C-alpha cells in the first residue's frame, strides 16, 4: 500500500502478526501509537523486549518467571504440599482469580495429542513425577481442560501417580454458575449428575 509511509507500513505489518489483530485493528493501533508521546511508545517497546529477555520458565513448575522460581513457587505462605496441574500458564491466572487455591502449580505446557506428535516427552510430565516423588507433595489436583485432549492427559497422569500414596483429584465438570439446564449439552449435564454432592 503506497499511501502509507514505509515505517508506518512496517509497524502495521508487525502488529498484524499478533493474535486477534486484523489489518483494520493494526491500522487503528498504528495511528494511535503515532499520536502518543515518544516516552509512551518507548515504554511499550522496552516492556516488550524486557519481558521477552527476562522471562523464562520456573525451575520447578514451568510457569513464567523472571527469577529461578516463579512468584508462586517462591511464596512461602502458600501450601507447598499441594500441586495443581494445568495445561498452560494462562490457566494459573484463571485459577488465582478465584482466590480459592493456595497451593503450587505445575504447567504441562500442552496436552497429549498423538495426532500433533505430542507425547509425554513433549510435556513436563516427567518433571511432575519427579516433584511428586520428592516427598513433600501430599495432593495433586488435575486441572487440565475438560475436553478430549485435556481428559486424556489427566487420565494418563492419574495412572502414573496412582501408586504414590498421595491424594489425587480432578476438577469438577458441570453446569456453569448462572447457566441453565435447558441449554446444557447432555455430556455436561451427565457430568453434573455424576458429580452431585450431598447437601
Q: Which residues of 81-109 are buried (b: 16+ CB within 10 A; e: fewer)?
A: ebbbbbbbbebbeebeeeeebebbbbbbb
User: Shortest distance, CB of residue 131 to its own copies, whole angstroms?
Assistant: 19
Q: Which is nearer to its own copies, 41 or 172 (CB)?
A: 41
Q: Which three cell numbers stand for residue 64?
A: 513464567
User: Shortest distance, CB of residue 7 to its own copies, whole angstroms?
Assistant: 4
Q: Which is nearer to its own copies, 113 or 173 (CB)?
A: 113
Q: Which is nearer to its own copies, 63 or 144 (CB)?
A: 63
State which H helix or E strand residue 80 sits in: strand 79-86
User: Shortest distance, CB of residue 92 to its own copies, whole angstroms?
Assistant: 6
User: Shortest distance, CB of residue 78 to its own copies, whole angstroms?
Assistant: 10
Residue 192 · residue 184 · CB < 8 Å = yes
Residues that bind its own copies (CB under 8 A): 1-8, 10-11, 13-15, 17-20, 25, 27-34, 36, 38, 40-55, 64-67, 70-72, 75, 88-90, 92-93, 96
Residue 89 · residue 73 · CB < 8 Å = no
Say how far apart CA 125 and CA 152 lie, in whole Å: 13
Q: Which is nearer to its own copies, 111 or 156 (CB)?
A: 111
Q: Which is nearer to its own copies, 51 or 126 (CB)?
A: 51
* Burial grade of 45 (CB within 10 A; 0-12, 13-18, 19 or more): exposed
Residue 1 · residue 27 · CB < 8 Å = no
Q: Which is nearer to its own copies, 61 or 137 (CB)?
A: 61
User: Shortest distance, CB of residue 3 to its own copies, whole angstroms?
Assistant: 4
User: Shortest distance, CB of residue 151 to its own copies, whole angstroms?
Assistant: 23
Say how far apart CA 157 and CA 152 lie, in whole Å: 9
Amino acid at each position: 500500500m503506497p499511501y502509507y509511509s514505509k515505517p508506518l507500513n512496517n509497524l502495521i505489518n508487525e502488529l498484524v502478526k499478533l493474535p486477534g489483530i486484523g489489518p483494520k485493528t493494526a491500522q487503528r493501533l498504528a495511528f494511535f501509537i503515532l499520536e502518543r508521546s515518544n516516552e509512551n511508545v518507548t515504554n511499550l517497546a522496552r516492556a516488550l523486549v524486557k519481558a521477552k529477555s527476562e522471562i523464562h520458565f520456573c525451575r520447578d513448575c514451568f510457569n513464567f518467571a523472571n527469577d529461578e522460581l516463579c512468584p508462586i513457587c517462591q511464596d512461602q505462605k502458600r501450601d507447598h504440599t499441594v500441586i495443581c496441574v494445568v495445561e498452560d500458564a494462562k490457566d494459573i491466572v484463571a485459577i488465582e482469580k478465584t482466590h480459592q487455591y493456595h497451593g503450587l502449580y505445575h504447567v504441562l505446557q500442552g496436552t497429549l495429542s498423538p495426532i500433533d506428535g505430542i507425547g509425554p516427552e513433549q510435556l513436563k510430565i516427567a518433571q511432575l513425577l519427579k516433584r511428586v516423588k520428592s516427598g513433600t507433595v501430599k495432593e495433586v489436583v488435575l486441572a487440565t481442560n475438560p475436553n478430549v485432549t485435556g481428559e486424556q492427559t489427566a487420565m494418563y497422569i492419574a495412572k502414573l501417580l496412582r501408586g504414590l500414596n498421595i491424594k489425587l483429584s480432578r476438577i469438577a465438570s458441570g453446569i456453569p454458575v448462572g447457566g441453565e439446564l435447558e441449554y446444557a449439552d447432555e455430556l455436561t449435564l451427565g457430568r453434573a449428575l455424576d458429580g452431585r454432592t450431598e447437601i
